[in-house]
Amino acid sequence: MDLGTEHESAQDSGEVCIFEIDAEAVGQSSTRARVGVKAHHDPRLVADMHEVDVAVGAGQAHTWSARWGPEGVVIACEGNVVYASRQRIDYPLQLMIDLFELGAHDDDGHYPKTAMVHRVRGA
């Protein structure tokens, strides 16, 4: 996710949500992800989150990308656009990569869950 830094204004808090999943959304050949824009405390934005299915299964390396600016927000997986919005976020954002678990833990020894980030690139 890319989140407003709020260092110039408390309203500069919008988020470009590039990829958000729940464990049960990951299959062997596809994954259901949430993508979009979160307004948080920015009255210039409207929350606009969508679930998308991508042809990437558990354990497969894949590439997500995001562009934002005066023309809007575009999010893609493996080069295929999965979300586009005309909402403008024209203030600095910080990249946040999180892995967290919600709910009760299983007693089957499969915790903690892990993920690997192979590469991050900014332009």
Summarised one tens digit per residue, pLDDT across range 50-84 is 999 999 887 888 899 999 988 999 999 999 999 99
pLDDT at 123 over 90: no
Radius of gyration of the chain (CA): 16
pLDDT at residue 105, as a whole number: 57
CA distances from 29 to 53, 55, 56 (A): 10, 6, 6
What percent of the chain clears pLDDT 70, i.e. is strictly above it?
88
Query: Considering only 30-34, 55-59, 112-116, which range has the smallest mean pLDDT?
Result: 112-116
Q: Where does the pLDDT of residue 4 fall: very low under 50, low under 70, confident under 90, or very high at 90 and above?
A: confident
pLDDT at 45 over 70: yes
| CB hemisphere CA count around 82 (13 angstroms) | 26
Q: Where does the pLDDT of residue 106 fall: very low under 50, low under 70, confident under 90, or very high at 90 and above?
A: low
pLDDT at residue 5, as a whole number: 87
Identity of residue 18? I
CA distance linking residue 53 with residue 29, whole number of Å: 10
